[in-house]
Each structure stands twice: as C-alpha cells, then as structure tokens.
Amino acid sequence: MKYLLAIVVLIVALLHQDVWFWKDKTLVLGFLPIGLAYHMGYSVLAALTMWALVRFAWPAEFDEMEPPRP
C-alpha cells in the first residue's frame, strides 16, 4: 500500500505542471480563469491525497505513543 501511495503522490505532483492551460483564457462560470480553477481543484486533490496517506499509511508506531484513554 505504501508503494502505491508513493506513486499516487508522484502523479499528483506531476499534475501540478498543467502545461495544457498555460495560455487558455476561458472563464469558468463567467468569472473564474480556467488556470486558477484548475489549481483550486488541485488543492482539493492534495487534501484527498493527504487523507489517503493518513488513512492507509499512518506509521503504526505513532499510535503506541498515544497516552492510554482513561
């Protein structure tokens, strides 16, 4: 799972270089430049990536450090 997630992180990092919208002046919803809309979507993708890392690749030894619940 960790290797799969490492590949996912790499792909997400590569998706940051969106050369396809470089000179595109299209306005999404009439007011949002498409280059900005793409990178706002990218921020959401980054949050989902971090969720996946926390959910599936959280180091088990960290949980041992938690104080016992009363």
Please tell me the distance from the alpha carbon of residue 53 to that of residue 4, in angstroms, as a whole number: 10
- CA torsion sign for 6, 9, 15, 17 is negative
Q: Which is nearer to another protein, 3 or 22 (CB)?
A: 22
Using the structure block, give the residue that is written with the tokens 């490492």: 6
Q: Are the C-beta atoms of 35 and 24 separated by less than 8 Å?
A: yes
Q: What is the DSSP letter of 67?
A: P
> With contacts defined by CB under 8 A, how many residues of the chain interact with another protein?
41
When asked if residue 8 is in the footprint of another protein (CB under 8 A), the reply is no
Q: Among 1, 2, 3, 59, which residue interacts with another protein (rule: CB under 8 A)?
A: 59
Residues engaged in binding another protein (CB under 8 A): 9, 12-13, 16-19, 21-25, 27, 30-33, 35-36, 38-40, 42-44, 46-47, 49-51, 53-54, 58-59, 61-67
